[in-house]
C-alpha cells in the first residue's frame, strides 16, 4: 500500500490539484454520497462495514436531512396551544399608551 501511495496516489492527486487527499477520504465521500442518494442508516452501516448503525449515525448523522427536521419545531397555530385572544387573562392586557 505504501508503494501505491508513493508511486501512484500522490502523483495523481497532485496532478488533479487535490494534493493532500487521502485514500480514506474516498470512504467518507462514498458514505456521504450513499446518504445523499437516500440510503437508510442500516444500509450505509452495512456497506461501510461499520460495527453498528449507531456508529454510522454518530459519524454521519448530520448528513441525514431529517435529522435537523426532527429538532426544528413546526409553527403551531394558537388554537393548538389553547390560547386565543378571548382566553387571555385580564392581567395580561396593557393600558393604552397615550
| Global model pTM greater than 0.75 | no
* Torsion sign, CA atoms 25, 30, 55, 46: negative
Cα–Cα distance measured from residue 59 to residue 41, given in angstroms and rounded to the nearest whole number: 11
For residue range 30-61, what is the model confidence (pLDDT) as tens digits? Answer: 999 999 999 999 999 999 999 999 999 999 99
Cα–Cα distance measured from residue 74 to residue 27, given in angstroms and rounded to the nearest whole number: 35
The DSSP 8-state label assigned to residue 95 in this structure reads P
> Does pLDDT of 69 surpass 90?
no
Cα–Cα distance measured from residue 29 to residue 63, given in angstroms and rounded to the nearest whole number: 12
Amino acid at each position: 500500500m505504501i508503494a501505491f501511495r508513493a508511486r501512484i496516489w500522490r502523483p495523481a492527486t497532485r496532478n488533479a490539484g487535490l494534493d493532500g487527499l487521502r485514500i480514506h477520504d474516498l470512504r467518507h465521500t462514498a458514505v456521504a454520497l450513499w446518504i445523499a442518494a437516500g440510503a437508510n442508516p442500516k444500509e450505509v452501516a452495512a456497506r461501510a462495514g461499520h460495527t453498528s448503525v449507531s456508529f454510522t449515525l454518530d459519524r454521519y448523522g448530520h448528513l441525514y436531512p431529517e435529522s435537523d427536521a426532527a429538532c426544528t419545531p413546526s409553527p403551531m397555530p394558537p388554537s393548538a396551544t389553547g390560547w386565543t385572544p378571548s382566553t387571555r387573562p385580564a392581567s395580561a392586557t396593557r393600558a393604552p399608551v397615550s
